[in-house]
Structure 1
Amino acid sequence: MSNGFLLFVGPMFYGGWYHFFYQYNPDAAVWGNIVWGHAVSKDLIEWLHLPLAMVADQWYDTNGVWTGSATLLSDGQVIMLYTGATNESVQVQNLAYPADLSDPLLVDWVKYPGNPVLVPPPGIDDRDFRDPTTAWYWPDGKWRIAIGSKVNKTGISLVYNTEDFKKYELIEGVLHAVPGTGMWECVDLYPVSLKEDNGLDTSFNGPGVKHVLKASLDDDKNDYYAIGTYSLESGNWTPDNSNLDVGIGLRYDYGKFYASKTFYDQNKQRRILWGWIGETDGESADIKKGWASVQSIPRTVVFDKKTGTNILQWPVAEIKSLRKSSKKFDKLEVGPGSVVTLEVEKATQMDITAEFEIDKEALKRIGESDVEYSCGTSGGSAQRGELGPFGLLLLADEGRCEQTPVYFYVAKGTDGQLKTFFCTDESRSSLANDVDKRIFGSTVPVIKGEKLSMRILVDHSIIESFAQGGRTCITSRVYPTKAIYGAAQLYVFNNATSASITASIQTWAMKSAYIRPYSSHQES
């Protein structure tokens, strides 16, 4: 929408359309008065806004129509469960369904007259019970859903059985719990194939399958995931590696990316992930511009068969439809301390792929180097080491007063093993003072024989970066004041002290997606 506050809710594919529902404040660019917006698309790129799907008009959701999930049943029914904040701010779960299943746009929605269908169980605080998942089918003929919560400081996911989505039975125990992680929001549980690159229906289980469990941690506003086993016997989920459990291990994204949700796209047999990109400037700036928050580019999710410990996230293939002119820069030699200008058509809207190779002689020559490096605490792109940083300077003005570097940094242990970091440095992204400018990143696994590679999508104030095929991802929300429109430039840089790099880069200028307002005669 062109005004108001936006926060992700839930997606699905129905009637030949991708449906995107989102929490929305139509009255202001701040949290409050939350209703459900609704948009549809044929290709996940160009969208048609529809009328509001649901508003806060009942006692059980008068303080907000919050996050929910859709479940498509085999008989064609569409079930929507969502959290409502009652007139006393108790978090309850409610049922809604389309008024007319023959309408592929699903414009009108009906709230079940028996709402709420779930209230906080004994031992759970009234305000710690939210965000029902998509349901999965159980071998006993019942459906199961999970809901995020906490007990003291232990994050948990409760599980319920249901046959008709109106009456529920709380399953003894929990799906999973991790001490010290606090409130779990927007819980997601889904299967990934260990052998195939296609996605799997949420109810799928069996040989050759692992399950990803994800939780958005309310305490630090980051999305954590882990890979493990979902047992049909116990109904519990167990991580493959307890050191990489939910909330203490891997993250979907190491930047500004939260409250994400996946759905199974039965149209193209893939699992798609969306995340909410919040603002990092002040609330007064949001009010002045009249809107706040955007959604990430949809990403496919598959199991990383090379590492066996990660998922791979990658922009949906449809994003290529926005590509325009392309330029290639093959095997650029970039010496230590160098910055090279890349002449491109449109540096504010770009799709970029880049591969980097470090000089092999330098790798052999250098001994132990930067083994204690950390993206967030080691000085950013200005901190020079023997093997990094090197990468791209994005949304940079001619004098590079403003710039957002996305880069690799390589550390070398005493055993000769390399450890690679993937980082984004926002510290000089804007001359504005009311902007939170951080240095994000983490390690990224690099398999023997792989070149260091990144893909970056730039859209004016959003940078989405993917390293090594999507093993590590970083989303940045930046607010350049000088590096805008035609004044923005692109550079490749190498701030290492001892090693040259070779860079091969391809860029595409990107056109804008077409977002249409709704009118009743535009349904075909």
Structure 2
Amino acid sequence: MGASRKIAGTWVVVVAVAVLSRWVGVAEASHAVYEHLQSLESSNYDPKLRTGYHFQPPKHWINGPMYYNGVYHLFYQYNPKGAVWGNIVWAHSVSTDLINWLAVEPAIHPTEPFDINGCWSGSATILPGNRPVILYTGVDTLSRQVQNIAFPKNLSDPYLRKWVKPKYNPLIQPVGGINASSFRDPTTAWSRDFKRWVKAKHALHTAGGTGMWECPDFYPVSIDGKQGLDTSEYGEGVKHVFKVSLDLTRYEYYTVGTYDQEKDQYVPDGASPDGNTGLRYDYGNFYASKTFYDAAGKRRILWGWANESDSVTDDNSKGWAGIQVIPRAVWLDKEGKQLVQWPVEEIETLRGKQIQIKHKIVKSGKFFEVKGIQTAQADVEVIFDVKSLEKAEPFDPSWSTNPQGLCGIKGGEVKGGVGPFGLFVLASSKLEERTAVFFRVFRSDDKHVVLMCNDPTRSSYKSNLYKPTFAGFVDVDIAKNSKISLRTLIDHSVVESFGENGKTCITSRVYPSLAVGSNVHLFVFNNGAEDIEMSQLKGWEMKNPRMNDGEI
């Protein structure tokens, strides 16, 4: 779900239908359905690994944002009856700072023939005259996915609590051979009146062999500077980003390219693959994201969802499932090759007690504990200085399209030449449990290759956990600069890491059994043959914001 608006001109920026797929036999929605659990209210509520400063409702299962008249609105897919997918409504929370949130009543429920079997994902848009609107996928009486519209009932209400669905819904139906079970997640486009829709003669963009695209996003970025652009911006000095969430892989991919307004077509630049080996916002547990233009901060903000990595039974037992990652400002890097992301600056208002360490050598095979703050809920920034690259391991070109697989082979425990070096987070005192966030440097024929990895394989003694390694390559000239930075947001069961000032981002969900609460420790380690200097480490305890504590 996302938001956009047109500042001027005859075209109105609105929401359009998601990418479509043709019938190939019988297709089903990708959501896992647990009918015996989806309406089961948890009798227990377990807060031990619940996040402190990431967005979560008080309980149950969640899985797009809008800025309107000084208030941020987050609409999100929510099950009000259980901690698994099902009974989906559009829940609604509001904020003035993206950090502290108040819950309001759900914006959309299944009530009409065009959405009686589900109110699924979509987008929010602001029309001319400063009028917000929601376009969303409904599942109708025939179990077809159709596109519907809703408007706020009272524009004078600053929180836009109540929404109404016109009787002329649905706006768009799956006709002409469109797969009615893969016709969802409408996102931003252009229209004249927002009521009459016709299928375009050609696709905005296609990429063969990639399966169904969920939650597509399409927006402009400036080629110069960090300032965000309104969704309708077009012309000189502007590139466009096209993002899809691939149902086949459950990861997100994007390209940077050029939008031709006359032809109504988007063409990637070709700097990265257009498919499931291309660029990603986040190389970890991150899906179904949307961006919106924040007119107040003149920035584009990206917000994604991180699912749980424990079992459905665990989710039901603890009474909650799913979080939103910290909102991120996003912009094009100086070379124009990729996006850069960084947590919104408002998150720093939660920083509390601070520690700082400077110029400490971490010798080969050694580690040390960072003391002085509680690190179950922390923000840590580190700069490493790589003095020598002589012992860097050779890089096999076959690894270039599979950093995750490479990390699986060469994880945090595998000794290397230059690295692995980084942090052990959410660690127990004797390191029986730990999640490694690290860099490893390789040597190729013409350059050095830097791998960034989250390795949670030793994160918990618990069984039945999904503990994949996640990894991405970092676009940095380590031979020239010698330094590389890491920022990690730690929040009980989530680890969000940003390498080299946000060029590579990785999110993991972990569930320690020993490293919980005051028993969480933080270490700096170096498992490579070369000594590494930690030029600087800054760490802060993070306070709890107000988080959906009661409905207004």
Q: d(CA) in 2 for partners of 1:87 and 1:298?
A: 36
Match of 1:378 in 2: 409
Structure 1 letter corresponding to 2:332: F
Instruction: Identify if the C-alpha distance between structure 1 residues 383 and 228 changes in structure 2 by more than 3 Å, giving closer, same or farther.
Output: same
Work out whether 1:5 is the aligned partner of 2:34: no
8 Å contact from structure 2 (residues 385, 482) kept in 1: no
8 Å contact from structure 1 (residues 371, 411) kept in 2: no
Work out whether 1:115 is the aligned partner of 2:169: yes
Give the 3-state SS of the residue equivalent to 1:486 in structure 2.
helix
8 Å contact from structure 1 (residues 255, 476) kept in 2: yes
Match of 2:438 in 1: 407
Match of 1:438 among 424, 449, 468: 468
Match of 2:495 among 454, 463, 466: 463
1:230-241 map, 5 Å: 230-241=259-270
Once the two structures are TM-superposed, the CA of residue 344 in structure 1 deviates from its matched residue by 3.0
Once the two structures are TM-superposed, the CA of residue 244 in structure 1 deviates from its matched residue by 2.2
Structure 2 letter corresponding to 1:18: Y
Greater CA deviation, 401-410 or 59-68?
Answer: 59-68
Match of 2:21 in 1: none
Give the 3-state SS of the residue equivalent to 1:382 in structure 2.
coil
8 Å contact from structure 1 (residues 403, 430) kept in 2: yes
Match of 1:297 in 2: 326
Give the 3-state SS of the residue equivalent to 2:346 in structure 1.
helix
8 Å contact from structure 1 (residues 371, 412) kept in 2: no
Give the 3-state SS of the residue equivalent to 1:376 in structure 2.
helix
Work out whether 1:308 is the aligned partner of 2:340: no
Match of 1:152 in 2: none
Match of 2:91 among 15, 25, 37: 37
Match of 1:184 in 2: 213
Once the two structures are TM-superposed, the CA of residue 290 in structure 1 deviates from its matched residue by 1.2
Give the 3-state SS of the residue equivalent to 1:248 in structure 2.
coil
Total equivalences in the alignment = 488
Match of 1:508 among 533, 540, 543: 540
Structure 2 letter corresponding to 1:100: N
8 Å contact from structure 1 (residues 225, 247) kept in 2: no
Gaps of 5+ in 2: 1-56
Once the two structures are TM-superposed, the CA of residue 62 in structure 1 deviates from its matched residue by 1.5
Work out whether 1:356 is the aligned partner of 2:388: no
Superposition TM-score, scaled by structure 2 size = 0.86
Once the two structures are TM-superposed, the CA of residue 519 in structure 1 deviates from its matched residue by 5.0
Once the two structures are TM-superposed, the CA of residue 45 in structure 1 deviates from its matched residue by 0.3
Match of 1:423 in 2: 453
Match of 1:227 among 256, 270, 280: 256
Give the 3-state SS of the residue equivalent to 1:176 in structure 2.
coil
Match of 1:280 in 2: 309
Match of 2:7 in 1: none
Instruction: Identify if the C-alpha distance between structure 1 residues 418 and 432 changes in structure 2 by more than 3 Å, giving closer, same or farther.
Output: same
Once the two structures are TM-superposed, the CA of residue 503 in structure 1 deviates from its matched residue by 4.1
Greater CA deviation, 492-501 or 426-435?
Answer: 492-501
Work out whether 1:482 is the aligned partner of 2:511: no
Q: CA RMSD in A?
A: 1.5
Match of 1:163 in 2: 192
Instruction: Identify if the C-alpha distance between structure 1 residues 292 and 318 changes in structure 2 by more than 3 Å, giving closer, same or farther.
Output: same
Instruction: Identify if the C-alpha distance between structure 1 residues 119 and 401 changes in structure 2 by more than 3 Å, giving closer, same or farther.
Output: same
Give the 3-state SS of the residue equivalent to 2:462 in structure 1.
coil
Q: d(CA) in 2 for partners of 1:87 and 1:289?
A: 34
Match of 1:453 among 477, 485, 488: 485
8 Å contact from structure 2 (residues 77, 88) kept in 1: yes
Q: Kindly, what percent of the aligned residue pairs are identical?
A: 45
Once the two structures are TM-superposed, the CA of residue 243 in structure 1 deviates from its matched residue by 4.3
Once the two structures are TM-superposed, the CA of residue 228 in structure 1 deviates from its matched residue by 0.4
8 Å contact from structure 2 (residues 77, 121) kept in 1: yes
Give the 3-state SS of the residue equivalent to 1:134 in structure 2.
strand
Q: d(CA) in 1 for partners of 2:259 and 2:417?
A: 44
Work out whether 1:105 is the aligned partner of 2:159: yes
Deviation string 1:113-162 (CA, Å, 9 cap, x unpaired) is 11100011313211111111123xxxxxxxx2xxxxxxxxxxxxxxxxx3
Deviation string 1:467-518 (CA, Å, 9 cap, x unpaired) is 1111110001000110111111100000002444434211011111112444
Q: d(CA) in 2 for partners of 1:59 and 1:451?
A: 59
8 Å contact from structure 1 (residues 282, 435) kept in 2: yes
Q: d(CA) in 1 for partners of 2:97 and 2:437?
A: 29
Q: d(CA) in 1 for partners of 2:378 and 2:132?
A: 37
Match of 1:347 in 2: 375
8 Å contact from structure 1 (residues 323, 510) kept in 2: yes
Match of 1:366 among 387, 391, 405: 391
Match of 1:322 in 2: 350
Give the 3-state SS of the residue equivalent to 1:287 in structure 2.
helix
Structure 1 letter corresponding to 2:513: T
Q: d(CA) in 1 for partners of 2:271 and 2:362?
A: 41
Structure 1 letter corresponding to 2:529: T
Deviation string 1:175-197 (CA, Å, 9 cap, x unpaired) is 11111110000000000000131
Instruction: Identify if the C-alpha distance between structure 1 residues 70 and 172 changes in structure 2 by more than 3 Å, giving closer, same or farther.
Output: same
Instruction: Identify if the C-alpha distance between structure 1 residues 332 and 253 changes in structure 2 by more than 3 Å, giving closer, same or farther.
Output: same
Give the 3-state SS of the residue equivalent to 2:267 in structure 1.
strand
Greater strand percent: which structure? 1
Structure 1 letter corresponding to 2:409: S
Match of 2:201 in 1: 172
Instruction: Identify if the C-alpha distance between structure 1 residues 105 and 368 changes in structure 2 by more than 3 Å, giving closer, same or farther.
Output: closer
Once the two structures are TM-superposed, the CA of residue 110 in structure 1 deviates from its matched residue by 0.3
Gaps of 5+ in 1: 136-143, 145-161
